[in-house]
Structure 1
Amino acid sequence: MALLPDRLTETLRKGQLDGLHGAVVVRAGEILLEYHGTGEDFAWNHPLGVVEFGPDTLHDLRSVTKSVTALLYGIALGDGLVPDPAAPLLPRFPEYPELAADPALARLTVEHALTMSLGLEWREDVPYDSPANAEIAMELAPDRYRYVLTRPVLEPPGTRWHYCGGATALLGRLIADGTGQSLAEYGDSALFAPLGIKDVVWMFGADGVPSAASGLRLTPRDLARIGELVLAGGVWQGHRIVPADWIQTMLRPRLRTTWGAEYGYHWYLDVVAGHRLVSGNGNGGQRLVVIPEQDLVVAITAGNYDHPDQWRTPATLLEQVVLPALD
């Protein structure tokens, strides 16, 4: 791993890491690589101009937030505050009795939300600055939960994985109802404070609700700390934060994504260059990658929002810089 900084410098010199804003590589609790670049950035769709990133600069995590929300669900479940994944979903939304009476929706369970297999119409294949994008429309809606639950039913739940930020919003509501705190408040008390993470921003939708799907802003170092928690099976510095059985359950593959990776409970599971990894992925090239067999965590922030090849920069960093240094 001593060649890691040299590999990064050479790959940057070749122009193969366009839009890279930050990277932290941690192995066995030791930071082996930390990079902070310069580039144009946004907080959601609010332009921040050209930012000189440093260790304390917050960055959008976008949909890596979904994976953090899954961790929070497991913590709340361990305390008996949220329903088991097998529980029916609609009874948890009693303000919509007419929806609960719909036989197609009555089949929905919490697990269908956790695995993004609700079977509802949901389009996020358009830019995230457009209300034609279902997640943006949800964030602009006066009632995000009604918006999600009134999407047309396309197929029976559990049939296939279909990317859906609305599924995460429903989980956020269950956490808030069960804990009696907003998602942001519960995140602080149950996860971030125990990890020693103090600088957190959680962005809110038009309805004043924290976005469970894409609202978190953290530093790369703190993002890596969350990866270390997952790597350690839910334990941080000798203190259990997430139940061990939830980590195992969360990372068990259940469905296959459209590009071939497997999906657990809001975490992706894949094999890259012969290494099994789990990851949280976000628009623009945000990544939290955990490689258990190597005791390794990689946190990546980037600014390639909505770009069709946004995956390329984190993939290049992982496959050409980090993984070759393991051999």
Structure 2
Amino acid sequence: MAHNQRPLASAALALVLSLFPDVGWAQSMEERLGAAVEANEIVGLHSTVVMLDGERIAEAYFRGEDERWGTPIGSIDHGPNTLHDLRSVTKSVVGLLYGIALSEGAVPPLDTPLLDLFPEYADLRDGTRREEITVEDALTMQMGTEWDESLPYTDPRNSEIAMELSEDRYRFVLSRPMVTEPGTTWTYNGGAVALIAKLIANGTGQEIDAFAETRLFDPLGIEIHEWVRGADDVPSAASGLRLTTRDLAKIGVMIAQNGSYNGQEIVPPSWLESSFRPAATIQEGFGYGFLWYLTKGPGGDPILIAVGNGGQRLTVQPNAEFVVATFAGNYNDPNAWQTTVRVLLDFAIPEVVRYRQQ
């Protein structure tokens, strides 16, 4: 498509202009964000990158306290080459990887019952509808099992932490008591993603980190990456991926370009179409697809969101090829999302307007 056929939705631009009539458009996003961070108006922000039409139009980096998968690593001077926890944004990446593996015939179809794929747990066929849970139910977090991640991730009663501490993470996930009919109720569930990653590993003969490197990272030119492993030496599919902000933004650009990057198809467009079709409703205005949050912007444009603990966020508006990747250090703060949403609305979108007006 031509450049002028991919503008941000006109309603979105009109909204921004009405909300920010006095913004100093001569100032860059980096300058305005720097002033806000210096004034303590924005707390814990580590970095943000803004992409439009496949081009990086703005970025900003800040010094701040950080962690590596829950372990403090001190005050870090974040920059373009700094690795950062994605936390649960990792889940959305795993969703893309399942689509790649499925296109290669390496993993089972979505309607396959999960217990058929884990014959070692035949004892879990207990007549409680557990046998009806499918791959798709795991991808959409509608397994129907008991799971609670509302507690802090420092609490061993948190279901994801309990899974990490268990002797067998897959048995732990599959053995949770049934509480609803599979495929009917959305419950946030990092264990479901562990199962999806295991299916990829079983089908491809590669653990999730190795498969991601060859099928996703290398084609995108992502050279710096890390996938943190749990105590059982299994890469954490729920939260263990670490990337730079620029490289997370590349994943968003690939999605906005319908699964291709630099002319190479990486994720099948049909998988993206399925992934971004609402399969569950979380609350009014927000749905859930295959490990992605879904909403709509002004004018009804689809907006795809991946979110992680502490303020990690990837936002993609495909129709505009508008992508924002943000990292922050507000771990275990229930209000961390407010910082990243403010960065998006008060700084990233106005930067698009400034860029268009230049």
| Percent of aligned positions that are identical | 48
Select 2:332's aligned residue among 306, 311, 323.
Answer: 306
The normalised TM-score by structure 2 is: 0.88
**Aligned-partner Cα distance in 1 for 2:316–2:42:** 20
- CA RMSD, 1 decimal: 1.6
**1:1-327 to 2 correspondence within 5 Å?**
3-258=28-283, 260-272=285-297, 276-327=302-353
Per the TM alignment, residue 18 of structure 1 is displaced from its structure 2 partner at its CA by: 0.9
Output the amino acid matched with 1:292: P
Structure 1 residues 66 and 259: alpha-carbon distance in aligned structure 2, compared to 1, 3 A threshold: farther
Aligned residues of 1:270 and 1:277 also touching (Cα < 8 A): yes
Quick check: which has more Rg, 1 or 2? 2
Per-residue CA distance 1:240-265 (angstroms, 9 max, x = gap): 11111001111111111147511110
Output the amino acid matched with 1:225: K
Per-residue CA distance 1:8-27 (angstroms, 9 max, x = gap): 34543553321100100011
**Aligned-partner Cα distance in 1 for 2:119–2:338:** 44
Whose helix fraction is larger, Structure 1's or Structure 2's?
2
Per-residue CA distance 1:32-75 (angstroms, 9 max, x = gap): 11111011110111110111101111000000000000000000
The normalised TM-score by structure 1 is: 0.96
Secondary structure in structure 2 of the residue aligned to 1:90: helix
**Aligned-partner Cα distance in 2 for 1:215–1:180:** 20
Per the TM alignment, residue 220 of structure 1 is displaced from its structure 2 partner at its CA by: 0.2
**Aligned-partner Cα distance in 2 for 1:298–1:92:** 37
Aligned residues of 2:293 and 2:304 also touching (Cα < 8 A): yes
User: Any gaps of 5 or more consecutive residues in structure 2?
Assistant: 1-24, 354-358
Secondary structure in structure 1 of the residue aligned to 2:258: coil
Structure 1 residues 185 and 106: alpha-carbon distance in aligned structure 2, compared to 1, 3 A threshold: same
Per the TM alignment, residue 129 of structure 1 is displaced from its structure 2 partner at its CA by: 1.3
Per the TM alignment, residue 271 of structure 1 is displaced from its structure 2 partner at its CA by: 2.9
Aligned residues of 2:99 and 2:271 also touching (Cα < 8 A): yes
Secondary structure in structure 2 of the residue aligned to 1:307: coil
Aligned residues of 2:255 and 2:318 also touching (Cα < 8 A): no
Aligned residues of 1:141 and 1:207 also touching (Cα < 8 A): no
Aligned residues of 1:38 and 1:53 also touching (Cα < 8 A): yes
The aligned length equals 327
Output the amino acid matched with 2:156: P
Secondary structure in structure 1 of the residue aligned to 2:129: helix
User: Any gaps of 5 or more consecutive residues in structure 1?
Assistant: none
**Aligned-partner Cα distance in 1 for 2:305–2:188:** 15
